[in-house]
Amino acid sequence: MDPILETRQLTHVYSPNTPFEHGALLGVDLAVYPGETLGIIGRTGSGKSTLIQHLNGLLKPTSGQVLLHGSDIWASKEATRAARFQVGLVFQYPEYQLFEETVYQDIAFGPKNMSLDKDEIDRRVREAAAFVELPEDVLQTSPFELSGGQKRRVAIAGVIAMEPSVLILDEPTAGLDPAGVERILANLQAYHNSKNATIIIVSHSMEEMARTVDRLVVIHNGAIPLQGAPGEVFAHESELENMGLGIPQITRVFHRLRAMGAEVDPSVYTVEQARRAILAALGKGAE
């Protein structure tokens, strides 16, 4: 399958030719496939935010390329503009970017900029609101009267309303309680399923990544030292720890069990997998 989005030897240097010169990305090759849910993990300062800002043309590569459907997004002004609509980016704490008088207007801001007609904008606003479970009566209230979790969902709806084929979210669940986290993840899943959209999630939480994504990419010092299915990536416990990243608590339990001498599968990374593995080991796996 051809990637929907790809970077080739992507390099980004901040403040070039000054004493503060800093290479944030160093020759990164990344391929994102249509319809997948991809997780990007890395410490603060690893280069992950710099990377995602390249994926929809907010930052221009110092060298290397970003390709959308195989063509360079910097080839022409039109190509760059198209990339910004097709690749939607939700920043960290997006609720601080709400500014309109009503929730409806805030969600409509993106589609309006796409010069769509009024009916189409209306359809998109209502559909986006439904994806993030915002009730109809909230649409006419001020976004500033909502709770933190609701505000965040309004901000996400604002990007969903542009119907991007790739939706990128930087720490979409930061600062939310467990119920709020589940809700946002379920909303993203709904958008993914309904539009066959590609989803890229940047997160610090390994537990959350473990049960959400198909594939994980680890960014460290501006490069990608590890990528693969969560089970494969989490097998590299000590390397991840050296990069200042952890592995899910459940995986650590299973690594510990192995070290004690129990014969269990070390590639377990969710509670459900763990439950099945233990029941199987007890001979209760059949039912």
Partner 1 sequence: METPIIKTEELRFSYTGAEGGTPLVLDGVDLEIAPGSFVAVLGHNGSGKSTLAKHLNAILLPAGGKVYVAGMDTAEEEKLLDIRRTVGMVFQNPDNQIVANVVEEDVAFAPENLGVPSEGIRKRVDEALKAVGMSEYATHAPHLLSGGQKQRVAIAGVIAMRPKCIVMDEPTAMLDPVGRQEVMETVKSLNRWYGMTVVLITHHMDEAAQAGRVVVMSQGKIILDGPPKAVFSRVDELEAVGLAAPDTVELCRQLNREGGLSLPLDCLDVETCAQALYSLLAQRQRA
C-alpha–C-alpha distance, residues 214 and 249, integer Å: 19
Binding-site member from 17, 135, 137, 260 for partner 1 (CB under 8 A): 260
Kindly tell me which of 1 and 260 has the beta carbon lying closer to partner 1.
260
Please answer whether residues 255 and 266 qualify as being in contact, where contact means their C-beta atoms are separated by less than 8 angstroms: yes
Under the criterion CB under 8 A, does residue 257 sit at the interface with partner 1? yes
Only segment of 23-31, 122-130, 159-167, 249-257 that touches partner 1 (CB under 8 A): 249-257
Strands 198-202 and 215-220: unpaired
Kindly tell me which of 70 and 285 has the beta carbon lying closer to partner 1.
285
Binding-site member from 29, 101, 177, 232 for partner 1 (CB under 8 A): 177
Binding-site member from 15, 44, 115, 238 for partner 1 (CB under 8 A): 44
The binding track of 140-169 with respect to partner 1, each residue x by CB under 8 A or -, is -------xxx--------------------
Give me the residue label for tokens 């604002």.
158
Only segment of 98-106, 113-121, 185-193, 256-264 that touches partner 1 (CB under 8 A): 256-264
Kindly tell me which of 9 and 147 has the beta carbon lying closer to partner 1.
147
C-alpha–C-alpha distance, residues 71 and 73, integer Å: 6
Kindly tell me which of 142 and 249 has the beta carbon lying closer to partner 1.
249
Kindly tell me which of 75 and 262 has the beta carbon lying closer to partner 1.
262
CA distances (Å), origin 70, targets 7, 46, 60, 102, 256: 10, 26, 17, 39, 44
Under the criterion CB under 8 A, does residue 96 sit at the interface with partner 1? no
- Please report the sign of the dihedral spanned by the C-alpha atoms of residue 170, residue 172, residue 178, residue 184: negative
Kindly tell me which of 97 and 147 has the beta carbon lying closer to partner 1.
147
C-alpha–C-alpha distance, residues 267 and 54, integer Å: 32
Under the criterion CB under 8 A, does residue 256 sit at the interface with partner 1? yes
Kindly tell me which of 124 and 153 has the beta carbon lying closer to partner 1.
153
Q: Is 1 exposed, middle or buried (0-12, 13-18, 19+ CB in 10 A)?
A: exposed
Q: Where are the alpha helices (DSSP H) in the chain?
A: 48-55, 77-86, 103-113, 118-131, 148-160, 178-195, 206-212, 230-234, 237-242, 249-260, 271-281
Q: Measuring CA to CA, which residue among 247, 168, 146 is closest to residue 204?
A: 247
Residues that bind partner 1 (CB under 8 A): 43-45, 147-149, 174-180, 204, 206-207, 244-246, 248-250, 252-253, 256-257, 260, 262, 264, 271-272, 274-275, 278-279, 281-284
